[in-house]
Amino acid sequence: MAFPEEATGAESWQMFSNCLGVDPDLFFPERGASTKEAKGVCQGCVVREDCLEYALANGEKFGIWGGLSERERRRIRRQRALARATQQQQPRTA
C-alpha cells in the first residue's frame, strides 16, 4: 500500500480519504441540515489537511471539505488574508 506522501498527481490524496466511496450528498447537506455525520467521516482522516487546503485553494464554497463547513472555511480565508495584509505592511529589515 502506498502512503499519501508517496502518491503522485494533483489530487492523489483523494485515494486515501475516509470519504472515498461515501455518498457525496452527505457532504453537501441542505441549508440548515446537520453536518455532524459528514464531519464524523472526516475525523481521523489521514488526508484531512490536504482536503481542506484543496478546498481553500480552489475556492470551494459549498459542502464539507477537510471537516469544515463553508462558514468555517470563510473564517480561515479571512484570517489568512488579514495575516498576509499585516505581513505586507510591516517594514522589512535587512
Range of the domain at 85: 4-89
Share of the chain above pLDDT 70, in %: 85
Domain membership flag for residue 66: yes
Q: From the DSSP assignment, how many helices (H) and strands (E) are in the chain?
A: 3, 0
Handedness of CA 70, 72, 78, 84 (dihedral sign): negative
Q: Is the pLDDT of residue 19 over 70?
A: yes
Q: For residues 27 and 48, give the distance between their C-alpha atoms in angstroms, rounded to a whole number.
A: 14
Q: For residues 14 and 85, give the distance between their C-alpha atoms in angstroms, rounded to a whole number.
A: 32
Domain count, the chain: 1
Domain membership flag for residue 94: no
Over residues 34-64, the pLDDT tens digits come to 999 999 999 999 999 999 999 999 999 999 9
